[in-house]
Amino acid sequence: MMRFAEKDTAITGVGMSEVSRGADKSALALTVDAALEAIADAGLSRADIDGIATWPGERADGSGFSPVGCAALQDALRLELGWYGGGGEAPGQYGAVFNAIGAIAAGLCRNVLIFRTMYEATARKTAYANSLLREGQRQAGPFAWYAPYYTYAAALQQALFFNLYVHKSGIRPDQVGQIAVNQRRNAALNPKAIYKVPITIDDYLASPVIATPLRLYDCDVPIDGAAAIIVSRMDVARTLKNPPIRIDAIGSSMRYRNSWTQLAELDTQAQPKVAEMMWSRTDLKPADVDIAQLYDGFSFHTINWLENFGFCERYGAKDFIDGGHRIALDGELPVNTGGGAMSGGRLHAYGAVHEACTQLWGRAGARQVQGDPQVCATSTSGGPLAGTMLLVRD
Amino acid sequence: MVARTLPAIDRDNEAYWTWGREGKLAIHRCASCEYFVHPPVPFCPHCESRDVAPQAVSGRGRVVTFTVNHKAWLPDLADPYILALVAIAEQDDVRIPCNIVECDIDKVDFNMKVEVVFEPVEDLWVPLFRPVTA
Ligand SMILES: [Zn+2]
C-alpha cells in the first residue's frame, strides 16, 4: 500500500506571541516570540531547525496581511536551513505545512519551523481599510472581476456564498449565531483570546449586518500576532519532549475551478473534495474525531465544515448546532475550543492548529476538553481554497 | 458614491470591458463546439480548440446569488447596494459579478431575471444588471 508522507511527520512544538488589537512591538518581534516559544516547546534549539515555511509569504504592501516572510525570520534567528518556502498559491493556509511535509519526505530537512504572522490591527489604524483593494489603482488577478462593484473585503464574496447556503439549507439566524456564542463562551476561558465577554443569541441578532446575511459577530477579528509550530520527521519527533502529534492525513486537492466566481459549488466552496481526499488517506472516520478546530474566517466556514467533514449531513448543520450543546466544550464534538478566530483573533488557521495541539496535549486549563481527546480535525478555507489536517496524539 | 475601482485591461479581457460602448456584452465562445469560456481564455477546455473569441450575448440572465451591503467600507459608501452573481441566459455556468441596479434592495431575489446595462467609467463600460420588467 502507498505510504502517505504526512504519516511520517508530527507536530512537536507550538508557540504564540501576544495577540492584540494593536501591538507595542514590531511584526518581526512578534514572529520571533512565537518561533522561539515553539522551538523551546519542542525541546529543540535554533541549531536544530533546518527548515522554515510560511503562508502566503512576505507581502510588503502595508496591509499587515503577511508582513514577515521566510527571509526575514531566517536572518533574525540566523538559522542554517536545508529548505525553506513561502507562497500563497497553495491549498489555503496549511499549504505551508503540506510543503514542509514534502520537504521532510524528500530528505531536505528534519525540523521545520512554520509560522503565520499578521499585523492587520495596526495596519487598519493607519492606511488600510481592508487588504483586497486600494483606491485608484486598476486591479489585476482574480479579484479584478469583483473590483468595479464596491467589493472591498472578503466578507462580500463570502456573503454571496453564505446567502446561497442559507437559501438552500433554511438555516435560521439564531442557529447560525450558535457558532459565535459558542466561541465567545470558549474564549472567556482562554487568557490569550481577544474578546472574553460572553454574548447571547440576542446579542448576535442585534449585531450590525455587514452584508446580508452576514453579521458583525459572524466575522473574525483582525489582530497583531504570530503563531508558530514545529513539524518534525517522525523518528526525530519520537526523541523529543512532547508526545508527537501525528499528522495522520491531509486534504490538499484542487478539483473544482480555482475561481471566486465560477467555483462549481458556491455554497460548499472547495471543501467537499478536500475533505474527501483527507478521509481517503486514513482509516479514521468522522465518528472518531474528538474535537474540531474548524476554520472561522466567518461562521459560515465553520458551518460548512461540519457538513463537509461529514460530522452531519448536507444542510444538516442547522440541526447539529441548534441550541449549541453538541459543539460546546462538554458536547459530543467541541468546536473551536479556544474561541477561534472570531473571538480569539485572526491567526488565520494557525491559531486553530495551536489550539488543537494545546488540547491534545492536555494543556488547555479551564477550557480543557475532558475525556482525554486524541483526534482533532482542523481546516482552512475560503472560496476556492481549502486544506485539512487530521491530527492524532501519538 | 465612491468612484468604481477598475480592472487592468489585457488582451483576453479587453472585449468584456469595452464592448459596452456598442451596448454589447462580450463573452468568449468556442467556434468549434460553441462553449462559452469565462473568464476569457483563448482555449476551449471542452474540445481543445484555440478558436475562441468574444461574441455578443443577449445580456439576459438570472441572479444566482446576491448580498445587500450595509457596511461603509470607505467614507461616502453609506448607501446599501446589491452585489450579485448573474448567470448568463446562454450558459448557466458563466457567472458575472455585478451590482443589481434600478432595483429596490428588498426586491432582489434568487433566480430573478435580469438584463445588462452599462455604466461608462473612464475608458471602460462596466456591465451592471437590472430587473427585466417586460
Ligand atoms: Zn470547444
Helix (H, G, I), strand (E, B) or coil at A255: coil
As a whole number of angstroms, the distance between CA B110 and CA A167 comes to 8
- Residues A336/A297, Cβ–Cβ less than 8 Å: no
Average pLDDT over residues B7-24: 97
pLDDT grade, residue A137 (50/70/90)?
confident
pLDDT grade, residue A2 (50/70/90)?
confident
- Provide the shortest C-alpha distance from residue B58 to chain A (in Å): 20
Residues in contact with A379: Cβ distance below 8 Å, sequence separation at least 6, in sequence order: A271, A274, A275, A293, A294, A295, A305, A309, A349, A352, A386, A387, A388, A389
Give the mutation candidate from B16, B67, B68 for the A interface (greatest A CB count, under 10 A): B67
pLDDT at A1 over 60: no
Please, what is the average pLDDT of chain A? Answer: 96
pLDDT grade, residue A129 (50/70/90)?
low
Q: What is the predicted pLDDT for the residue at B88?
A: 98
pLDDT grade, residue A82 (50/70/90)?
very high
pLDDT grade, residue A128 (50/70/90)?
low
Span of A55-64, A108-117, A218-227, B119-128 with lowest mean pLDDT: A55-64
pLDDT at A133 over 90: no
DSSP run (H or E) holding A352: helix A350-360
Contact residues on chain A for B5, CB-CB shorter than 8 A: 133, 135-139, 147-148
pLDDT grade, residue A312 (50/70/90)?
very high
As a whole number of angstroms, the distance between CA A379 and CA B31 comes to 42
Average pLDDT over residues A22-38: 98
Q: How far is CA A115 from CA A106, A245, A315, in A?
A: 21, 17, 34
pLDDT at A288 over 90: yes
Q: How far is CA B127 from CA A136, A141, B60, B79, B96, in A?
A: 19, 18, 12, 20, 9
Span of A135-149, A154-168, A199-213, B10-24 with lowest mean pLDDT: A135-149
pLDDT at B79 over 90: no
Average pLDDT over residues A190-210: 97
Q: What is the predicted pLDDT for the residue at A12?
A: 98
Task: Among A130, A138, A211, select the one facing B69 at the smallest CB separation.
Answer: A211
pLDDT at B78 over 90: no
Ligand 1 centroid to A92 CA: how many Å? 31
- Cβ <8 Å between B67 and A138: no
Q: Could you state, in order of their start, the residue ranges of all structural domains in chain B?
A: 13-131
Average pLDDT over residues A315-324: 98
Q: Tell me the sheet residues that pair with A295.
A: none
Q: Say what the pTM is.
A: 0.96
Contact residues on chain B for A156, CB-CB shorter than 8 A: 67, 69, 83
Whole-complex ipTM: 0.97
Please, what is the average pLDDT of chain B? Answer: 96
Nearest chain A residue to B126, by CA: A148
Average pLDDT over residues A371-384: 96
Please report where in the chains the cell 509569504 appears, as a residue: A57
Give the mutation candidate from A130, A131, A132, A145 for the B interface (greatest B CB count, under 10 A): A145
pLDDT at A62 over 90: no
- Residues A340/A352, Cβ–Cβ less than 8 Å: yes
Average pLDDT over residues B105-130: 98
